Chain A
Amino acid sequence: MEAVTDRRLHAGGSTDDRLSALPDDLLHRILSFLPCQRTVQTTVLSKRWQKIEDLVTNFLIFHNAPVLDAFRIAMDGVIADDWLPAINRWVRRGILGCPSVLEIEFFDTGIPNPPFGDTIRPGPFELPDIGSSSSSRLKKLSLVGVSLGSSFAELLRSGCPVLEDLHLEDCCTEFNHIQSHTLKKLTIHICYRHSVGTLLIKAPALVKLVLDPDLSMPEYTQKNEFSLADGSTNSLVDAWVVFPNDMSPRSRVMLLGSLSNVTKLELTACFSAELMLDNELGRFPIFSNMRTLWLRGCVFGNRDGKCSTLDIFLQKTPNLKKLTLEHQRPCCCKNTFQEAGRKKRKDKTSSRALHCPDQKAFQCPNLKLIEIIYEARYTDDHHELQLFQVMRGLWRNLQQATFTVTKI
């Protein structure tokens, strides 16, 4: 880092280069305010700057590779091929730093989903192998837009002894199980699985679960089945789950069964569709710990004459304190089969009281707060009518409760 000795002076003497005379750490700091492309361009200013930029790129302040507390790389947009070597370099260096928090996030890579079949959506970034020596301190791992091979499952199982928080979003995966003894929080958000079959989650310490496969491409025929191994949900308190339209009713009931201990459940699904087969109703679990329930989706549609999901839930949540019904744009109802059914139902606007096969009224003595949220532009007259019918049905049983209706 000493002053360059073979410097060629400009004829006539230029101004003192007091910028380059600043100590390394200050130059380093200035460079950190530049976007990375500009930082790399400074390598060409002079030899001194090349050294500084190397410091920035390699994260080596002195001779020893430091142990990192956290490493995060986040990029937006399509990644050009010639950027990949640089990005790979940075990611590898970050991983080598044995971080406690590792976040590798590529958003909006813009690669369109294949419409049919089981072709993998090409993962824009293949995660380099994380050796178990690099993951020994890993507590939080967040991967967005990354392609994960089958060795990832093994890494989770045996290479991450202190992992507590795993976030997988928009990833392309090839494994069938997620296993970790220490995992407390798991988020799976719109991931594309190359392998067929059920994704088994085995995480006995799990406290919070977010499961959200892709709902926006109903034509995508990939099967999205999840299951939680026995014992994985003993500590589970908070679950946020989306039921994809193609999830089998049996899997849904089984998944709900695994969630039966939770205190708080947020469930997004098309509730007007056949969520539950009649012969599965008997297996619908009782959620004795549930205090908060949030149902999001086509909440106000229902199958005429049949028990609605809301009815069932209210029967099975005796200790419920707060209920939120959020009626969302009925994307599933875009499906022509259901459109036809909907048109048919529109004619039968007879009063839709809450009722169950055996007409038993539900008992939720602690249910004091009911919120109803709906988007005006996606709710037609038919839905609004059903909304009020649902409210009336609820009100009959819950006259002590507070209702809030929000139209957004």
Chain B
Amino acid sequence: MAATTADGSKVVGGGEKSNVDEESKMITLFSSDGERFEVTQEAAAMSQTIHHMMEDGCVDDEGVHLPNVGSSILAMVIEYCNRHVASPDEKEDIRSFDAGFVNVEHHTLFDIIRAANYLDVKELMDLCCQTVADSIKSKSVEEIRELFGIVNDFTPEEEAEIRKENQWAFE
């Protein structure tokens, strides 16, 4: 797993921050299945949800419970956040990291989207939505149905009607 225990602070200490105290301030997150994750406050703050909780003083010593996010997905989200706060300026590295990160099964991607939405991590949301959009972009309607298992519940007449209505888009 990407970020556990005291090692977390060493990984993330990118040397760019002058305030040593801030770097090592950790926060505990609990996934829906009770697993415990330690992350730096900086990484956790990438989640606006958690950031607001921290600001409003709603985070107690125990940590933050995330009933909507399972451990495997939470681990991935944490990995993403850690990587992005570690070296935000190394654009090339981050790009290749992102590309590898989204190279997962679709249903995993959708779970990450749900988690990122709940945790409000904008960059991760955008990355994953863009990835899904990209896989839709280059495909025909039939191929999209095939890929995602979308069931066509239109009658042939209904479908023809819609295609006709928006003819310009189907040319």
Contacts and interface: CB of A to CB of B under 8 A. Distances in A.
Interface in B146-171: 148-154, 159, 162-163, 166-170
B150 A83 contact: no
Given A33-B130, A37-B169, A83-B168, A19 B162 contact: no
B133 A50 contact: no
Contacts of A46: 145, 150-154
A8 B113 contact: no
11 contacts: A18-B107, A19-B106, A19-B110, A19-B149, A20-B148, A35-B137, A40-B169, A42-B144, A46-B154, A86-B166, A86-B169
B36 interface: no
A41 B149 contact: no
Nearest to B158: A47
Given A7-B151, A42-B136, A47-B153, 15 more contacts: A4-B151, A10-B151, A18-B107, A21-B110, A25-B117, A26-B114, A30-B129, A30-B133, A33-B132, A37-B168, A41-B141, A44-B141, A45-B150, A49-B150, A83-B168
Given A18-B106, A38-B137, A44-B163, A8 B153 contact: yes
A14 B168 contact: no
- Residue of A7, A26, A40 ringed by the most chain B CB atoms within 10 A: A26
A347 interface: no
Nearest to B159: A44
A17 B106 CA distance: 10
Contacts of B110: 18-19, 21-22
Contact of A41 (B117, B151, B170): B170
B166 A43 contact: yes
B153 A6 contact: yes
B153 A4 contact: yes
A50 B166 CA distance: 12
A47 to B, nearest CB: 5
A21 B168 CA distance: 28
Contacts of A408: none
Interface string A1-34: 0001011111000111111111001100111111
Contacts of B132: 19, 30, 33
B148 A40 contact: no
Contacts, number: 104
Interface string A218-251: 0000000000000000000000000000000000
A17 B151 contact: yes
A33 B133 CA distance: 6
A278 interface: no
B73 interface: no
Residues of B in contact with A, size category: 20 to 34
Contacts of A30: 113, 129, 132-133, 136
- Residue of A9, A37, A38 ringed by the most chain B CB atoms within 10 A: A38
A29 B137 CA distance: 14
A380 interface: no
Contacts of B163: 44
A157 B125 CA distance: 44
B141 A45 contact: yes
Contacts of B114: 22, 26
Contact of B129 (A7, A33, A35, A37): A33
A82 B153 contact: no
Nearest to A40: B169
A74 interface: no
A8 B151 contact: yes
Nearest to B165: A43
Contacts of B170: 41, 44
Interface string B110-143: 1001100100000001000110111011000100
Nearest to A5: B153
Contact of A16 (B107, B134, B136, B169): B107
A42 B163 CA distance: 10
A8 B153 CA distance: 6
Contact of B162 (A14, A26, A43, A86): A43
Nearest to B138: A38
B149 A16 contact: yes
A33 B131 CA distance: 9
A82 B167 contact: yes
